[in-house]
Chains A and B, each alone.
Chain A
Amino acid sequence: MLNIIFGETDKAIYNTSVHFDNTYYDSWLDDKFARQMILSVDRATVLSNHAVDSKALGIIPVTKISGGLKTLLLIYNNPDMIFNASTCGDNCAKWILRIAKKSEKDITINLRHIMDFGDKSFEIRIKNNDTIVHNMAELVQYAGYFIGEKYEG
């Protein structure tokens, strides 16, 4: 299941881009699911585990992929860690849900904004009040109160 901590928290890695640049493994790019995310978000094709061919930027090293994609790859490959997913745009939301569904472990992310998870139903636990929500209408009722606060749990 996907867990979300809304608001500021010391438990999450805030600058995910720097963290990715210094911790990713080449093997992360060999994964089929990761390649689908890279194509979907950055419109880029993996050439090798050192380079991708981006529609906008041409052939670039892995450290030049978008900040949102770096965060997705961190979440996917480090299910025990918590990352600031407000570095992800709404075009990453479906991938966060898919990562959580695919993972054998519960995934926890930190959001400092209200991400739009779309019109379809989902199952997300809001850690701030330990409540499970099933759609955006339920999610925003709680999220709006928590995004400006600090999570102390």
Chain B
Amino acid sequence: MKGSHEIIIQNRRLRYKITVNRNITILRGNSATGKTTLIEMVDEYSKDGPESGIQLRCDKRCVVLSRGNWERDLQDYHDSIVFIDEGNGFVKSIAFAESVKQSDNYFVIATRDSLFNLPYSIDEIYGIKNTSGNRYQGTKRIYSELYRIYNPDAFQGKPDKIIVEDSNSAYEFWRAICAKEGIVCETAKGKSNLFGLVQKSEENRILAIADGAAFGPEMERAMSLKNVKNVVYFLPESFEWLILRSGLVESAELGEILAHPADFIESKKYISWERFFTALLIEHTRAERLSIHKKEQAKSLPLPVI
């Protein structure tokens, strides 16, 4: 599936308006905000349609997947938005992660568990908030929308240390900048090591850099470190996305793709947007002087000033 899809679902008492932008959306946040109620309404509509008394507007079929025969049920769903409620432990399994990778569906998963087997984006982790309410035929209808749990965080001044998730081209790039600026730079050699490395660092002001497109499962424990360290995260979609955005690569279509990536990224082909941007960069630099890959990328780039 490609594209962003708006879902409006309502009954006499509740109205939800949400937009899903890529293959995995995570719902979390406080208790009693209506996550389960939303998914129950989708389930009732998928079974009984308009007869349920629920109105659902979306250009894609919306269904609910539950434990039990989830693998068999998932085989029947195509080009659909699949909702999964809390309490379905299979979402943490490798089998489920493999199914998502091969699926042409989008998934909306209500869970506070960090799903380390799935590469979801930091931008697609949401809570539900009530935006307004009004009297509607004797009942008070509550309007609910999603809000991003992790918002952009500005870094003031110069860090003492930069920790880079990547150990290849991105690390080479940031290491070169740090050398110029007199900043310590270290690679975490993988996103799962970032938590430990930030915590053990003796420097006061730390800037951690990782690919936001797949950093979702790490985000909660990474943010929890703010209780311990003065750490800020710079989480662009990916290093390749940064290069594509830098203006080094010229292409008539690139601007449109970067402005609306959801419209161009087929979820079945690219489990995570970072993979799409890597493929896009390789494609657009294949015949150019900039033809670059992995560690060679960094050597070709001009260095920005922090």
Contact = CB atoms under 8 A, between A and B. Distances in A.
B181 interface: no
Contact of A144 (B30, B36, B37, B224): B224
Interface in B32-46: 32-37
A89 B89 contact: no
B114 A17 contact: no
Contacts of B188: none
B262 to A, nearest CB: 27
Nearest to A38: B32
Contacts of A135: 227
Interface in B167-192: 192
Interface in B181-239: 192, 195-196, 199, 220-221, 224-225, 227-228
A141 B228 contact: yes
Given A17-B87, A56-B14, A144-B195, A91 B221 contact: no
Given A56-B34, A67-B31, A144 B221 contact: yes
Contacts of A61: none
Contacts of A8: 92
Interface string A109-123: 000111000000000
Contact of B13 (A57, A90, A137): A57
A148 B116 contact: yes
B3 interface: no
Nearest to A19: B87
Interface residues of A, number: 37
A140 B87 contact: no
B13 A58 contact: yes
A104 to B, nearest CB: 26
Nearest to A68: B31
Contact of A112 (B14, B37, B113): B113
Contacts of A57: 13-14, 37
B220 A113 contact: yes
A53 to B, nearest CB: 12
Contacts of B160: none
Contacts of B30: 68, 89-91
Interface string A76-94: 0000000000111111100
Interface of A: 8, 14-18, 41-43, 56-58, 66-69, 86-92, 112-114, 135-137, 139-141, 143-145, 147-148
Given A17-B36, A112-B113, A113-B220, 5 more contacts: A18-B87, A42-B32, A43-B32, A67-B36, A141-B199
Interface of B: 13-14, 28-37, 67, 86-89, 92, 111-114, 116, 130, 139, 142, 192, 195-196, 199, 220-221, 224-225, 227-228
28 contacts: A8-B92, A15-B89, A16-B87, A17-B36, A17-B86, A42-B31, A42-B32, A56-B13, A56-B14, A56-B32, A56-B37, A57-B37, A66-B32, A67-B31, A67-B35, A68-B30, A89-B32, A89-B112, A91-B32, A112-B112, A135-B227, A140-B221, A140-B225, A140-B228, A143-B221, A143-B224, A144-B199, A144-B225
Closest 7 CB pairs of A and B: A68-B31, A89-B30, A66-B32, A15-B87, A89-B31, A144-B221, A140-B224
